[in-house]
Amino acid sequence: MQVPILKQGHFVIASIQSALTDDDLLQLRDALVQQVGRYRSRGVIVDVTVLDVMDSFAVRTVRDIAHMTRLRGAETVIVGIQPDVAFAMVQLGLKLEGIACALDLEEGLAYLDQKTKNSARRGY
Amino acid sequence: MAKVKRPGVDEPDIVAGVGGAESSALLSELVAHLREQRTLLREEWARRITEAKLLTAMSKDEIFAEATSVYDNYVEALETGTFEALQAYARNLSERIIPRGVETHEVVGIVLLLRDVLARSLFGKYQRDFEKLNRILDAYEPAANRIANTVAVGFVQERERVIRQQQEAIRELSTPVLQVRERLLILPIIGVIDTQRARQLMEQLLRGIRTNRAKVVVIDITGVAAMDATVANHLVQTVEASRLLGAIVIVTGLSPEIAQTLVNIGVDLGKMNTVGDLQGGIEEAERLLGYKVAQLSEASPTA
């Protein structure tokens, strides 16, 4: 299952639509890291609202995405982690240290807007 | 061997050790006797209950009324050898009398008294025929024991159910998640936190963050006297989980003892945002949310 990656201004949004296999996750990672460069994006949003399970591999991949895109010049925000998923993650010791999280897409966009306001001149 | 009067009844396990058919015949005889003597035995029983100062929470009439129905249920259980009806009755009875402060020893006491009263009456009736008395008791005792057991267990179970329910209610009451401003939640924690409550707190808070779309949460633990490593760890986890939902947690009101405990057990405080008291916590939260609270004029005494 391919994850659609949408371009929205200076940001790219990866909107996960269903449960993902490990291969899907790696594919998503590669695609995002590549597209950040192609679109010259300042921010990446990974929407995980539909995931009701996040295992260690998924968390690690998300962390990798954040670190890799940061090296390519874009800040990553994870949005839409479900309360139960958050609960399970901390119980299992799966951390997303140093990676921004937001409640939903709207919040994530607001965060990135805020974050890039000072450092980048906005315009298309 | 006596003829079996009610062929439909077969309950071998209550009459173990005695021939099934014979003992059910004996039980029938026994039941017939108890029915015949109902009024007398019932009064005797109620008298003994009052005498033993049991069920002091109930009036004499109530005791008599309950005694009557317990008696009838008891005899019925003896007769049919099935305990479902008695069990249901015991549960129902417990439901009614537990709120009135009836103790376990009283319930066990009255059932044992009834057992005693009935056994005495059987002694009286069969004392001339020792053989028969023996056989009657063989049939009666196991059944009576099981009845006493059923009633006592029913009572204790009902009591435990009530206690569980109350614990649940206390838990629910004691962990409110309150919204004080748009996107600002307060979670005042009062009392003892154990692992289960800490877990429940976290779940409730996460749900609260989601429904209220909170950005900042102030957890106030002024009312928490002590905290051990496990609970401290839960607190750290709560902070972390809230962050995953995009909310910042501010912990306020750490007592000197708790501060010492946290430092001694080496909790990583780097991730924890702490402010001295609730007021400071709310002010900090307002700052984070971009609120500015300004006083419009000096408060004047109300005319």
**ipTM here:** 0.80
Q: What is the mean pLDDT of residues B235-247?
A: 92
Smallest Cα–Cα separation from B283: which of B239, B250, B244? B250
List the single residue in B213, B215, B241 with the smallest CB-CB distance to A86.
Answer: B241
In CATH terms, B12-168 corresponds, of 3.90.180.10, 1.10.490.70, 1.10.357.10, 3.40.50.150, to 1.10.490.70
Q: How confident is the model at residue B194 (pLDDT cuts 50, 70, 90)?
A: confident
| pLDDT tens-place string over residues A45-80 | 999 999 999 999 999 999 999 999 998 889 999 999
Put simply, the answer to whether B245 touches A87 (Cβ < 8 Å) is no
Provide the CB-side half-sphere exposure for A81 (13 A, CA).
Answer: 32
**pLDDT exceeds cutoff 90 at B120:** no
pLDDT above 70 covers what percent of chain B?
Answer: 90
Q: How confident is the model at residue B59 (pLDDT cuts 50, 70, 90)?
A: confident
Put simply, the answer to whether B247 touches A96 (Cβ < 8 Å) is no
Domain boundaries, chain A: 5-119
| pLDDT tens-place string over residues B243-285 | 999 999 999 998 888 888 888 888 776 778 889 899 999 999 9
Q: What is the mean pLDDT of residues B208-221?
A: 93
The residue ranking higher by pLDDT, A97 or A118, is A97
**pLDDT exceeds cutoff 60 at A101:** yes
- What confidence score (pLDDT) does residue B3 get? 42
**pLDDT exceeds cutoff 70 at B173:** no
A5-119 is classed in which CATH architecture?
2-Layer Sandwich (3.30)
Domain boundaries, chain B: 12-168, 178-289
Burial class (CB in 10 A: 0-12, 13-18, 19+), A117: exposed
Q: How confident is the model at residue A23 (pLDDT cuts 50, 70, 90)?
A: very high
- Residues in A closer than 8 angstroms to B240, CB to CB, are 90, 95
CA distance B229 to chain A (A): 15
Superfamily covering domain B178-289: STAS domain (3.30.750.24)
Instruction: Return all residues near B275 (Cβ < 8 A) that are at least 6 apart.
Output: B250, B251, B252, B281, B284
Residue B155 and residue B104 in contact, taking contact as beta carbons nearer than 8 Å:
yes
Q: How confident is the model at residue B140 (pLDDT cuts 50, 70, 90)?
A: confident
**pLDDT exceeds cutoff 90 at B155:** no
Put simply, the answer to whether A95 touches B240 (Cβ < 8 Å) is yes
**Do B178-289 and B12-168 fall under one CATH topology?**
no
